[in-house]
Chains A and B, each alone.
Chain A
Amino acid sequence: MEIKKNIAISETGFVFDPSTGDSFSLNPVGLEIIGLLREKKTQEEIATLITEKYDVEESAFERYFYDFISMLKHHQILQENEAN
């Protein structure tokens, strides 16, 4: 999974897609996960890092993670052809 290259993400969690003009706000955890996706971490690596850092069950995290990924795909922040 890869974040589309031209997507601008500020440290405040503001996301701007310059090709559509869409903008979004991420909460701190969303911003952290996007950062990890940009570092090309796998889902397993992201799950390990987040569940170690925050008080969340792995199964619950997995559900939230898929929701989040679906949302990123829906808004075309994750590139479809490079998403896996």
Chain B
Amino acid sequence: MKRTKITVAVSGLNNVDSPGPGIPVIRGIRESNVFDARIVGLAYENLEPGAYMHELVDKTYKVPYPGEGSEALLERIGYINNKEHINVLIPNFDAELFAFVKAGHILRSIGIETFLPTLSQLDERHKANLPAFGKKYGLMVPFSKNITSVYELEKLKDDFDYPLVVKGKFYDAFIAQNKEQAEMYFNRVSAKWGLPVVIQEFIQGTEVNVVALGDGRGNTVGAVPMRKQYITDKGKAWGGITLDDPTLMELTHQLIRKTQWRGGMELEIIRTAEKELYLIEINPRLPAWVYLAVGAGQNLPEALLKLALGMPVEPFTEYAVGKLFIRYSFDMICDLTAFEKLSTRGEL
């Protein structure tokens, strides 16, 4: 079968110890039987490893952080598009999603398709809104409250027992055993991710995760559950295994049906000893372990490209159970000239 030539822009090239999903997404696209993709990397930092992985990324451009204003980001994307003629853009950072979702119509007007959640989907699943989300969709979620000052911790003593979880707006979660630890983690995550900080009930159990893709009309295009088997000190999976769990799958299908979810997602769930499933977080994009789904038979990055381009997509009905991923680190040797190009010209 002749593969269709397309150009795909991908961010999240920070394939570090707490990796972005860019490189695993690209690996899925590279394995596609449908697309022959030119990959344009979008990097925020000069040392994002993906920028130097030329067998996976054809060309990389530096882009400004969304925090610098979406105008600057869109201007840069416009410049890149003039050179590269991007067909599809896949943003992979939570922090940049709002800007790209909001700019969907602008991107489309210059020929760039995306396949992202709607603004309301993005907002209602936000970890600060999780209790309302659980109530609306009939899901068990941990009790949580948003606070904007460290002094509010004192007021929460009637609502929470220790341990509790202190979560950043976009990333990071710490288990605090006492008030002193909670204050320390509040200061740490608020300094890094801003306010509010989410204080969440600690649910005892086993964490399981699901990577899934919704077509925006209530259908689940694909879903693969995984349990982390090796966890780094940052709480990231360094190894994981696909599971056979019909209740997890049912929860995922229901959630996508009820929310009409559009795009990739990762569900973070705690299964208690009583086998109750508590939804603790929804990440509104494909996760860094998405290549496990590809290896288990569901090429979700390829399916996402098809959805973005309006092509018909047959939902996946199965995946291999007991497939493992084991992450590893690898030292690339690069010439200074490559670093120089990216840091001075913003292109590599």
Chain A positions within 8 Å of B, measured between CB atoms, are 6, 8, 16, 18-21
Contacts and interface: CB of A to CB of B under 8 A. Distances in A.
B243 interface: yes
Q: Chain B interface mostly helix, strand, loop or mixed? A: strand
20 contacts: A6-B244, A8-B322, A16-B322, A18-B243, A18-B244, A18-B321, A18-B322, A19-B243, A19-B244, A19-B245, A20-B206, A20-B227, A20-B243, A21-B226, A21-B227, A21-B229, A21-B240, A21-B241, A21-B242, A21-B243
A72 B159 CA distance: 38
Interface in B239-271: 240-245
Size band of the interface chain B makes with A: 10 to 19
Contacts of B226: 21
**In the complex, the 7 A-B pairs of residues with the closest C-beta atoms, listed nearest first:** A21-B227, A18-B244, A21-B241, A18-B321, A19-B245, A21-B243, A19-B244
Contacts of B243: 18-21
Interface string B220-236: 00000011010000000
Contacts of A19: 243-245
Q: Which of A8, A16, A18, A19 has the most CB of B within 10 A?
A: A19
Contacts of B206: 20
A8 B226 CA distance: 17
A8 B241 CA distance: 15
A20 to B, nearest CB: 7
Nearest to B226: A21
A15 to B, nearest CB: 12
Interface in B295-325: 321-322
A75 to B, nearest CB: 12
